Structure 1
Amino acid sequence: MEDKVRLTDPKALRAYAHPTRMALAGLLRREGPLTATRAAELTGESVASCSYHLRILAKYGLAEEAEPGGPGREKPWRATAQFTDWPGYSEDPAVAEAAQSLTLAVAENYFHRMARAQEARGELPREWQEAERFTDSTLYLTPQELAELGERIDALVREYTGRATDPVLRPAGARRVPYLQIAFVEPEPPRDPGGTR
């Protein structure tokens, strides 16, 4: 499996923004090769729906048939990469619009997942509840400083990413933890007619 697949085609960006396809791509990355039948069991979608969405993921390079192939819906599929990447900026308006729509879809997906985790967190042992992070900071940064901060955090996170694909690297008691990095520029408040804020 490659480390990352980069989507730049507006059609691919819009295709990946579908919640079922995002869920299937995640399952393929975590669970390994899956048939449409097994994907349906894990997602609650129909087998026909999973089969269709797996073919769409394959069309845009996010999934592929695994060997050995089975017949029809028993054909196993695998992810082509551990992560999906797309432009944060593009001169092409079609790419920019599709990328923005995908970013919004991913944010909504994570919001729902986080809300479900918060509802169930009381069932976690105390050590996990105390270790979880839910905090924010407001920083005043230049674009260069924000990019450098992201690179430093990425370097720290990379120390643990190998565990996603190699269970031998996971220490006892390790669990899957989505770790989100979100930084956005706060819109400026409107100026009053006197020119002050």
Structure 2
Amino acid sequence: MERPDIECPELSGCPAPTGESGDPPTDPFADRTRLTDPRALRAYAHPTRMALVGLLRNEGPLTATRAAALTGESVASCSYHLRMLAKYDLVQQAEGGRGREKPWRATTQFTDWPSHSDDPAVADASAALNIAVAENYYAKMTRALERRHTLPRAWQEAEQFGDVSLYLTADELTELDDRVTELLAPYLSRQSDPASRPADARPVSYLRVAFVRHGGTADAVSPDPGGCSSPGPGEAGRPGSREVFPPESREVGSTGSGESA
């Protein structure tokens, strides 16, 4: 999309984390809309709609006119897409506004959808949404890298850009995701409570992507599978970050504005 950055992470079939006792703790991503209707999944995959949901989640209630100014879309286009999002309970009209200029608000902070379905229609629509989200991530990451030189040095060194290959079981990958969720949880309240943000805090997109590598020529010629390289000062990534650039790397992604597949 050239669309505004979407900061809220989205979910896709992510289970609530469990504590040591096995009892599920409070789910930090509980405030979410779950999409299971293939029509809703395909409707949400539109880049402008993902951008609008992200804006409403991050900037608060907005009119179609204000949304148009922020996205570069026309007012008529934003009005149409907002009505489509309302049809699937992703947004709703908010209080206030004058005349026909009614503000819209997001109904929840996150969206999730099935990571697996025996219904071919749901599976196909979920796959299409995953790809749309992946493309969103790629566009956002590319813009961030292009503008990275404008950041203060501390932020350039703090940003992360890399990957590592791991040999995991499905249960281990699920456990790893739960542990990451626990680490993120203390910071999530800052999304809806600006007063809790430190003075020097900035909005950061923290991507969570893990996928099984499939065999093939690309994997066969990847440098040192499972290995990593560390960029030096001035290179992409931060000192010591792990980077592997297999030939097939394209990158995957809002929030859904906030979105994750």
- Tell me which interval the TM-score lies in, with the shorter structure as reference length: over 0.9
Alignment match of 1:115 (pick from 142, 149, 152): 142
Show the 5 A alignment for 1:64-79: 64-68=92-96, 70-72=98-100, 74-79=101-106
The match for 1:57 is: 85
Note the C-alpha offset of 1:46.
Answer: 0.2
Query: In the alignment, does 2:7 pair up with 1:7?
Result: no
* C-alpha distance in 2 between matches for 1:93 and 1:169: 44
Show the 5 A alignment for 1:82-93: 82-93=109-120
| Secondary structure of the structure 2 residue equivalent to 1:84 | strand
- Offset from partner CA, 1:9-55 (integer Å, 9 cap, x none): 10000000000000000000011000000000000000000000000
The match for 1:194 is: none
Quick one: which amino acid aligns to residue 5 of structure 1? T
The match for 1:142 is: 169
Note the C-alpha offset of 1:3.
Answer: 1.3
- Offset from partner CA, 1:104-127 (integer Å, 9 cap, x none): 001101100110110000000000
Quick one: which amino acid aligns to residue 153 of structure 2? R
* C-alpha distance in 1 between matches for 2:113 and 2:186: 23
Note the C-alpha offset of 1:70.
Answer: 4.0
In the alignment, structure 1 segments of 5+ residues that lack a partner are 191-197
* C-alpha distance in 2 between matches for 1:128 and 1:68: 38
Alignment match of 1:188 (pick from 207, 215, 226): 215
The match for 2:250 is: none
* Identical-residue share of aligned pairs (%): 65
Quick one: which amino acid aligns to residue 56 of structure 2? L
The match for 1:102 is: 129
Note the C-alpha offset of 1:59.
Answer: 0.4
The match for 1:161 is: 188
Kindly indicate whether structure 1 or structure 2 has the higher relative contact order, using CA contacts under 8 Å at least 6 residues apart: 2
* C-alpha distance in 1 between matches for 2:121 and 2:188: 32
* C-alpha distance in 2 between matches for 1:37 and 1:44: 10
Quick one: which amino acid aligns to residue 160 of structure 2? R
| Secondary structure of the structure 2 residue equivalent to 1:15 | helix
Normalised by the length of structure 1, the TM-score is 0.93
Note the C-alpha offset of 1:68.
Answer: 2.8
Normalised by the length of structure 2, the TM-score is 0.70
Show the 5 A alignment for 1:164-179: 164-179=191-206
In the alignment, structure 2 segments of 5+ residues that lack a partner are 1-29, 218-261
The match for 2:73 is: 45
CA RMSD in angstroms comes to 1.2
| Secondary structure of the structure 2 residue equivalent to 1:173 | coil
Structure 1 runs of 4+ aligned residues shifted over 4 Å read: none
* C-alpha distance in 2 between matches for 1:24 and 1:65: 13
Alignment match of 1:35 (pick from 63, 76, 81): 63
| Secondary structure of the structure 2 residue equivalent to 1:27 | helix
* C-alpha distance in 2 between matches for 1:176 and 1:79: 18
* C-alpha distance in 1 between matches for 2:99 and 2:49: 22
Alignment match of 1:18 (pick from 46, 58, 63): 46
* C-alpha distance in 2 between matches for 1:16 and 1:93: 18
* C-alpha distance in 2 between matches for 1:189 and 1:105: 24
The match for 1:131 is: 158
